[in-house]
Chains A and B, each alone.
Chain A
Amino acid sequence: MTRRLPWPRSLAGQMALLVALALFVAQAFNLALILRDRTAFRVAQATRPAAVQIADALDREAQGRPLSQDRGRVRIAVASPLTPAMRDQPDLAHELASQLAELGVPVRHVAVALASPDQYALRPTRIERRMMARDGVAPQRRDALVMTVQQPSGRWLVVASPWSRNDSRLFWRLLAQTLILYGAVLLPVLWIARRISRPLRELAAAARGYSPSSAPVPLAENGPPDVKAVIAAFNALRLRVTAMLDEKDRMLGAIGHDLRTPLAALRVRVESVEDDTDRARMVETIAEMNRTLDDILSLARMGRPSEPPTEVDLAALVDAVVEDFRDLGAAVTFEEAERLRMRLRPSLIRRAIRNLIENAVKYAGAAEVTLEAGERHAAIHVADRGPGIPQERLDDVFDPFIRLETSRNRDTGGIGLGLALARSIVREAGGEIVLSARDGGGLCATITLPR
């Protein structure tokens, strides 16, 4: 199970990571180049003194100071001290051979190898010997670079010098250098990225929080020019959306006016109809058309409520709606409830409750309303003993213009707009409307509102 590495999601994080990776690659190239140069330098550094020492030693031997097998920098050996276990260094051997050739030293064969402390014991240097005598510290065991030269006579000359295997100092220096570079580059990158991303975050928050009902406050144009341009575009877009919604509202107002005027004319003329039954039916039809028009306009305006939320006693509100129905002679009951303080848009919520009760009265002739206060929610139940709605169609009735012809009577008039409007109002307030079948027949509509 490999845990996924935390991958930065923010703009700043991703930019920083990208720059860090790029820096790392650049540093790695850099390191490789440095190591190559360094190796070439070390090769030269290791072979040149050895060649000179060999030439000097041979000169001194010619002047009568014989070479020894165990003393001096250059020693003689009968056979090559190199073993196959040692790491052969053909580059160094080649370099040494050419240096010796430059110095005019005749050789038959040159071989160079790196030996571990176990394979070749270096003689302690003078400083090490002094430190050993003074502090009793054993000298550091080091790798040795063993350079062997076979003279034309067949005799071997050996020069051995300490060889630090890996350039740990160089490594640490490069690491420090990289860290400094990271600091010097990443901090400004993070700063710039934040400078870009903060206004972007604000933009995202503004876009998320955009509410067409509130007056558009332009977002401050901060950040680099590109970001500023995006914010300016967003501000312009917001103004356009608001203007379009204003236009829509104006249009709805005009539609309402233009449809109500002929309705009003009709309503006045209906008064001259002699037959009372006929006239009553016409009046009812006109009232129905007007209510539907009202519902359509309200539904189209939802999302931009003009009424601000206020502190309201929900119990009194439900009671007032029920009372209005009772005044009109409808059999609606409400169990008086404790005062329930809530923050909501009173006339919209009134409308939602009224629509539910109206529906119950229309299909069942009566309604029982109860208010239930919970810890976090308040629930208003509107229950009836009407024909109910089949379980599988309970959700459909909320769709605008849907009416169930199977169980609810078509002649009672009205289209399912009332419930759709009630649901939009309640949802706008952060609540929900649920319909459920009642035990013993009938329907129960429940409005749940957050407290």
Chain B
Amino acid sequence: MGDTPHLLLVDDERSIREPLAVYLTKQGFRVTQAGDAESARTRLAAYAIDLIVLDIMMPGEDGLSLCRHIRANGDTPVILLTARSEETDRIVGLEMGADDYVVKPFSPRELSARIKTVLRRAAGGGGLRQHAPESGSYAFAGWVLKTGERALVDREGVSVALSTGEYNLLLALVQRPRQVLTRDQLLDLTQGREAAAFDRAIDNQVSRLRRKIEADPKSPEIIKTVWGGGYALSTDVTRL
């Protein structure tokens, strides 16, 4: 359908679905609505959908099950709407292959921004796209980054808490080991999560991260500065 991305909005709550559809249409998307999983399947078969916004809690077949079905049949990006901020929902949702999620009540602007980010990544924004970006754990240089609990665990099993900004940055780095990422790329990759958390300069976040994970933050071995470029994770990463 030309340049207008086609969204499928699946939510059983009309009070959310309809105004949201109006809003997203104003934002320049073409929006098709579905009130349950079954009609969502019909719409999916009928249209070329670019991205699905999917409510987890629905009567009948729920969003997670539909998400699994979508993942099994292609790689249309999915953004989940969840009523609970609880860990389990998030972990399960991301394991089901969702690309992102927002917690109700969400800001329509934020949702719109995330839709754009996910669409940009899906459109093949360089080598940056990766499926199921968050699920599982990443082991590197004696550390383990657990995405489910959003925790960084050291050799002794002690978990070292990260701020939201630090977490997003580290996640972007460990998902692309030995790859030079410019500040702009890092900003883009860390955006679209908690909206407010990317205001501070990437450099600042990097130096904070280094203090937490480098043996000697003054001569970093894990996160290296690339002359004139940006940053790169200079160790191997194992998906656990």
Flag whether B158 is at the interface (Cβ < 8 A): yes
Q: Does A323 contact B (CB under 8 A)?
A: yes
- Does A129 touch B at the CB level, under 8 Å? no
Give which listed residue, B19, B87, B107, contacts A265 with CB less than 8 A: B19
Which residues in window 102-139 of B have CB below 8 A to A? 104-109
A264 and B157: CB pair below 8 A?
no
Query: Which residues of B come within 8 Å of A, CB atoms?
Result: 13, 15-16, 19-20, 22-23, 57, 81, 83-88, 104-109, 149, 151, 156-166, 196-197, 199-200, 208, 212
Question: In whole angstroms, what is the CA distance A256 to B87 when docked?
Answer: 15
Could you say which of A268, A290, A324, A326 contacts B108, with CB atoms under 8 Å apart? A268
Interface size counted on chain A using CB atoms at 8 A:
40
**Interchain CB contact under 8 A, A262 and B15:** yes
Tell me the bound Cα distance from A269 to B106 in angstroms.
Answer: 11
Within 8 A of B (CB), among A155-180: none
Report how far A323 CA is from B204 CA in the complex, Å: 11
| Chain B residues, Cβ within 8 Å of A316 | 160-162, 212
> A327 touching B199 by the CB < 8 A rule?
yes
Residues B208 and A256 in contact, CB atoms below 8 Å apart: no
Closest to A311 in B: B158
Residue of B19, B86, B149, B161 near A269 (CB, 8 A) is: B19
Instruction: Give the dominant DSSP class at A's interface.
Output: helix
A329-348 near B? 1/0 per residue, CB < 8 Å: 10000000000010000110
Q: Are A311 and B157 in contact (CB under 8 A)?
A: yes
Q: Which residue of B lies closest to A293 (CB)?
A: B105
A260 to B55, CA, bound (A): 13
Shortest CB-to-CB span from B116 to chain A, Å, is 16
> B20 to A268, Cβ gap below 8 A?
yes
| 15 examples of A-B residue contacts, CB within 8 angstroms | A260-B104, A261-B15, A262-B15, A264-B106, A269-B19, A271-B108, A290-B105, A310-B159, A311-B156, A311-B159, A313-B160, A320-B163, A320-B166, A327-B164, A327-B196
- State the CA gap A144–B131 with chains docked (Å): 117
Nearest 5 CB-CB pairs, A to B?
A: A323-B163, A265-B15, A317-B161, A264-B105, A267-B105
A224 within 8 A of B: no
Chain A contacts for B23, CB-based, 8 A? 268, 271-272
Q: How far does the alpha carbon of A321 sit from the alpha carbon of B163 in the complex, in Å?
A: 6
When C-beta atoms are compared, the residue in chain B nearest to A313 turns out to be B160
Min distance, Cβ A327 to any Cβ of chain B, angstroms: 5
- Is A206 an interface residue, CB under 8 A from the partner? no
Q: How far is the CA of A262 from the CA of B16 in the complex (A)?
A: 8
Asked whether A303 is an interface residue with its Cβ less than 8 Å from the other chain, the reply is no
Residues of A within 8 A of B165 (CB): 323-324, 327
Interface residue? A350 (CB, 8 A) = yes
Contact A324 B163, beta carbon cutoff 8 Å: yes
Residues on A with beta carbons closer than 8 Å to the beta carbon of B57: 257
When distances are taken between beta carbons in the complex, the residues of chain A under 8 Å from B157 are 310-311
Q: How long is the Cα–Cα vector from A347 to B157 in the complex, in angstroms?
A: 17
A328 and B106 alpha carbons, distance in the complex (Å): 17
Residues of A near B200 (CB, < 8 A) are 326-327
**Residue A55 at the chain B interface, CB threshold 8 Å:** no
Q: A325: nearest residue on chain B (CB-CB)? A: B163
